[in-house]
Amino acid sequence: MKIQSLAVIFTIIILPITIVLNSYIRNYVTTLNYQISYDSKLDNATYDALKAFQLNTFNNSSSNYVNSKMRDIEAAANSFFESISQNFNMIGYNNETLKDYIPALVFTMYDGYYIYSLYNNKLDDLTQSQIDANPQASIKGNGEQTYGFKPYIYYSCRYIKDDLDVVITYALDNYIEIHGMKGTAVVNISGYLINDISKNASGDISYRGITISQEGENVLNEWIGEKESDRSNANI
């Protein structure tokens, strides 16, 4: 066989393999680049949402009230979508388009969370009739899908065992609230859950090697003092 024929056969074999492998690696590199880029854009938008929430609540004396808190969180969600739509603007995605690609936003608070997601709107008959009488594009009717915040969900769970029927509400730290019934007695207590704490027969509480006596003298008391100069002036 002539060497030119061998060269052509070599090219025919190697060229398709090279092209396919090259294409595969290019796709892999492009995918990784997109992953990094999208993660970065999401991180930036999340940071902007939290920063907006911080700035909005910092100067607001009523930020702990529920309606004020909802308003702050809705403003933070708007900031998130605004920031992420600016980051994807070059590709042509705007606010409304991006909502279809974001299944949910979860705002984790101290004792519960809000979820911002797509849901089926549920209206009573009176509200539906008012909307039918005055239809507007921004207001969705009964059964229509819309984006919005769902009601606050507490970190709580109900426990039933024998005669114990209580609901325990947890928080992000070790604070818990217990409400319910034990037999016929109402249970309504709250406090901080602490590990490694025990009570002996005499009623003394032991925590991390320190014994706290329930009886005897009062160890801690409140000191109200005054300056020496004030006392001498008072005596005069």
Partner 1 sequence: MSLGETVITIIAIVTAAGLMIIVPFSTVSQRTDDISQLAISTSTTDFVNSVRTTGILTLDDYEKFIEDINSTGHNYEIEMSIGRLDENAARKVSQMVSGSKIGENERVWQYQSQVTDLLDKPPYEIQLNEGDMFVVKVKNKEQTIAEQLNKAFLGGASGDSYAIAAEGAGLVTTNGN
78 binds partner 1 per the rule CB under 8 A: yes
Give CA–CA dist 58/15, Å, rounded. Answer: 64
Instruction: Tell me which stretch binds partner 1 (CB under 8 A): 76-84, 96-104, 107-115, 134-142.
Output: 76-84
Phi, psi of 77 (to 5 degrees): -65, -40
Q: Is 82 helix (H, G, I), strand (E, B) or coil?
A: helix
Residue list 189-208, contact with partner 1 (CB under 8 A): none
CB of 97 to partner 1, least distance (A): 16
- Residue 188, Ramachandran bin (φ over 0: left; ψ between -120 and 50: alpha; else beta): beta
99 binds partner 1 per the rule CB under 8 A: no
Contact 145, 118 (CB under 8 A): yes
Residue list 40-69, contact with partner 1 (CB under 8 A): 40, 44, 47-49, 51-52, 55-56, 58-62
Give CA–CA dist 233/42, Å, rounded. Answer: 67
Phi, psi of 24 (to 5 degrees): -65, -45
CB of 13 to partner 1, least distance (A): 13
Interaction site with partner 1 (CB under 8 A): 2, 4-5, 7-8, 11, 15, 18, 22, 26, 29, 33, 37, 40, 44, 47-49, 51-52, 55-56, 58-62, 71-72, 74-79, 82-83, 86-87, 89-90
